[in-house]
Amino acid sequence: MTISIRPAREEEAALLTDLALRSKAHWGYDPEFLASCREELTLRDTELTVRRTAVAEHDGRVVGFTTFEGEPPRGVLGMMFVDPDVIGQGIGRLLFNQVVQTAKVLGFTEFTIDADPYAEPFYEAMGGVAVGRVPSGSIPGRTLTQYLRALPG
């Protein structure tokens, strides 16, 4: 499968929001939980550039995306989702490596990731080190493991 990675286009915000919700649902979360996450997972056309949103594309179809936010030296991997139809095919790794390259070029030395429990093994495999727990942005009382990914100089 040939994947290209490119900046998101403003008109893709609704498409990316839908992808994020479908990807989250893939892990078996119930409808109430997904409804609680909707606002947090909603992207708006005007923020895609500011959030450094990149999409993975295969044959003209968006199959994943990521956002990378913040200012050097410390950034945040804000969102990263892969279409459920292609999870496990290396797209997440490509997107993550794109974030690492972007971060290096922009002068970042590290970034954090607030990981969904199902994503923790992936972020550990990508070199993330658990540094603590942080409150979930969408579910009161829920916490997520925060990872730190240092960037080699």
Residue 18: both structure tokens together: 């839908």
| CATH number of the structural domain spanning residue 12 | 3.40.630.30
Q: What pTM was estimated for this model as a whole?
A: 0.96
Per-residue pLDDT of the chain (153 residues; tens, 9 = 90+): 799 999 999 999 999 999 999 999 999 999 999 999 999 999 999 999 999 999 999 999 999 999 999 999 999 999 999 999 999 999 999 999 999 999 999 999 999 999 999 999 999 999 999 999 999 988 889 999 999 999 987
Give the three-state DSSP class for 134. strand
| Domain that residue 86 falls in | 4-150
3-state secondary structure labels for all residues of 24-35 = HHCCCCCHHHHH
Domain count, the chain: 1
